[in-house]
């Protein structure tokens, strides 16, 4: 913690928690065992991010493509999601963490939709950190749904095509007030974004970890933030320009 500059903590960290199944297979366990251990790491990282002062934390919890996985694996993921919602609700409320969810949530079971909706309502006034779960989520699906919303507005005559700009697209995304991630962490040694936050990751710094998700501890989160703090974020400008902007 002492090696971090508190003035340079990323505002928004997004995470692709990869490697649950491989972690279990490496130990001769059924793949679903990795998701139980992975759920515990979600708890640890949420607590760690809150302690670090990260304001937004977004997990890629279940993608649109994940529906193609074996049914027992899907059932396990949903069971651990439900367990997290129920078990951690009071702690999230107590710690001032607001919970949100993005994606095609109607694809989730009615029970999980109801439980998730209840947690979102219970935490909606919290303002210390925003914890967002991307569920039944795909970056392309999000952009498609945004385009459909814009098309309906044009068809209804309330929006001129010439008025469509980046702000208009942003306003039609799943989470309109979500700032773009400053840092994307992907575990499991992979170097793909896997259809995650395609619009929002335009200038995000990437950090990949060889650790499989159940082995990704709070200290590794600190490592990722430390690496982020060494980066020079130019947003398409030159180094000289970014230096000129500093006070």
CA distances from 120 to 54, 76, 112, 125 (A): 19, 22, 12, 9
Nearest to 211 by CA among 227, 189, 183, 191: 189
66 is catalytic: yes
10 Å Cβ neighbour count for 239? 9
66, 95, 126, 195: the catalytic one is 66
Helix (H, G, I), strand (E, B) or coil at 24: helix
Q: What are the tokens at 8?
A: 């340079």
CA distance 85 to 119: 7
CA distance 129 to 47: 10
Contact 87, 43 (CB under 8 A): no
Place of tokens 């340079």: 8
Half-sphere exposure of 169 (CA within 13 A, CB side): 10
Contact 174, 102 (CB under 8 A): yes
Half-sphere exposure of 148 (CA within 13 A, CB side): 7
Active-site residue set: 18, 66
């Amino acid at each position: 913690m002492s090696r971090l500059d508190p003035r340079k903590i990323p505002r928004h960290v997004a995470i692709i928690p990869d490697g649950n199944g491989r972690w279990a297979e490496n130990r001769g366990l059924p793949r679903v065992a990795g998701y139980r251990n992975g759920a515990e790491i979600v708890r640890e990282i949420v607590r760690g991010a809150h302690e670090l002062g990260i304001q937004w934390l977004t997990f890629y919890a279940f993608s649109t493509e994940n529906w193609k996985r074996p049914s027992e694996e899907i059932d396990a993921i949903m069971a651990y999601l439900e367990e997290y919602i129920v078990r951690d609700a009071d702690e999230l409320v107590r710690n001032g963490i607001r919970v949100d969810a993005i994606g095609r949530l109607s694809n989730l079971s009615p029970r999980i939709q109801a439980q998730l909706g209840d947690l979102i309502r219970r935490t909606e006034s919290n303002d210390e950190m925003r914890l967002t779960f991307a569920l039944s989520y795909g970056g392309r699906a999000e952009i498609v749904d945004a385009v459909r919303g814009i098309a309906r507005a044009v068809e209804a005559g309330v929006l001129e095509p010439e008025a469509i700009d980046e702000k208009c697209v942003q306003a039609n995304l799943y989470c309109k007030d979500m700032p773009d991630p400053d840092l994307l962490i992907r575990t499991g040694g992979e170097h793909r974004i896997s259809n995650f936050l395609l619009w929002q990751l335009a200038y995000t710094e990437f950090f990949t970890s060889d650790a499989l998700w159940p082995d990704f501890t709070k200290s590794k989160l600190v490592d990722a933030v430390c690496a982020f703090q060494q980066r020079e974020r130019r947003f398409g400008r030159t180094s000289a320009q970014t230096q000129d902007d500093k006070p």
